[in-house]
Structures are given as C-alpha cells and as structure tokens.
Amino acid sequence: MNAILKTLALLGAVLFLAACNSTTVLLANFNAEPVGAPPALNQPTGTVVTSEGSGTVRVAASPAPGGGSNWVRIEHPTQPSPETVLVARFDSFHGAGKYGLLAALFIPTGTGAVTLQLEPFAGSGGDFLHLDFMPENDIRLNDNNANRFGTFPRDSTFVVSIQVDSTVSPPTARVGLLGVGTSGSRDVVLPSIATSFGQVRVWMGFQWTGPFFLDDLLVTRSNS
C-alpha cells in the first residue's frame, strides 16, 4: 500500500509541475465516465477513439488496491487476431515544439508486450517513436531488441515520461520511467515527422495477450 501511495503522490506532483509554463494539448482520464463503458470520445483536452479488434477497451475501476480513480482497461484475449487499440489525439495541431508526455500504466503479471507510440496528428505518416513494455519487464525502443533498457514493475502503478523536442534538427526525445520499482532512461534521435506530433497510440499487437490499464495520459507543450 505504501508503494502505491508513493507512486500516486509522485504522479500528482509531476502532473502539477508539467502544467507550469506550458499548455495542455491532451488530457485523457476517465473519472467521470461509467465503469464498463467505452471511453468517451471527448476528453478534458483532446479526443480518444478505439479499435477493439478481438479485444475490449473499457473504463474500469482502479487496478491498484485502494485506488480511487477510474482507468481504462485494454485487453487482447486471443492470438493471432487484430490488435486492440486506443488512440488519443491532441485538441488541434500545434506544430514543432517542446512537448512533455506523462502516462500512468498498470501491467499485470502474465500480460504480453504493451505498446505506446507517438504519431503525427491524425496518424499521417506512421509512428516516430515506438515503446514496447516487454514480458521481461524492460522497454524495447522502435522494435529493436538491441535497444532495450530499464525496468518496470508488474501489478503496480508506474509513470512513463517522454520529453520530445522537435525544435532542433534532428528532433530528439528522452524516455524515462517514474515510480517505485522503476529504473532507466534513454535519449533517442527522432525522424523529421516528429515535428507533426499530434497523437498517442496505446495498444497490444496480434501476437500478445492479456489486459493492461492506462490513466492520466497528459501531453503539454512548452510556452517558452
């Protein structure tokens, strides 16, 4: 319980700090939505759409004992079968800038690889940064097994942090994990389409199975 409370307190502090001197371009959370329903299209900032494939995307009670907020539960139950996807899109296109992404994840024991990727606005041009949270409890970058790092816990809330700077050439990102039981960070050089950053895709591919949970998906854009 103490570990859970510490992680939630950390998330709250980071969310507060991220809002300073920045504009929120995406905020998806599910506290006001009924458990068991698909997530609403219109979020506090931006929108969410889903493609369930063979699985489900539903609002759910907190997976963490004692947690009070609703999350979204994404489950892909069979393989091979069409992927199960949630896409969160910015409120509008904002162009090149310095962006900060934070998202809370909860991945149970036994769940396969969970993917979070960054894409241009409206999905044109594919992804420019692809993170797989692997069965071995580390992160694989851009489907490259030679580029794996860090540690994340199972059955516990942790926070993903991605800082994207598309004002430089080439664009860059710094990926890190926050929370009890996490470790590791990595700097990444991005392709030029990162200047069109506009949506976040969270999904499970056809070859994996299991549920996972997402909450408080926040992207801010620096005002300076």
Question: For position 187, which CATH number holds?
Answer: 2.60.120.200
Given a cut of 90, is residue 195 above it in pLDDT? yes
Does 80 sit behind a cis peptide bond, omega within 30 degrees of 0 on the bond before it?
yes
Given a cut of 50, is residue 13 above it in pLDDT? no
169 lies in which domain range? 2-222
pLDDT of residue 10: 47
Alpha-carbon distance of 136 to 123, in angstroms, equals 29
pLDDT, tens digit, 9 for 90 and up, residues 64-77: 887 778 999 999 99
Query: Residues 39-65: what's their mean pLDDT?
Result: 95
pLDDT of residue 15: 52
- pTM of structure: 0.90
pLDDT of residue 4: 41
pLDDT of residue 124: 64
| Mean of per-residue pLDDT scores for the chain | 90
Percent of the chain with pLDDT over 70: 90
Buried b (16+ CB within 10 A) or exposed e, 10-36: bbeebbeebeeebebbbbbbbeebeee
Confidence of residue 19 (pLDDT cuts 50, 70, 90): low
pLDDT of residue 224: 78
Based on its alpha-carbon atoms, the radius of gyration of the chain, rounded to whole angstroms, reads 16
The total of structural domains in the chain comes to 1
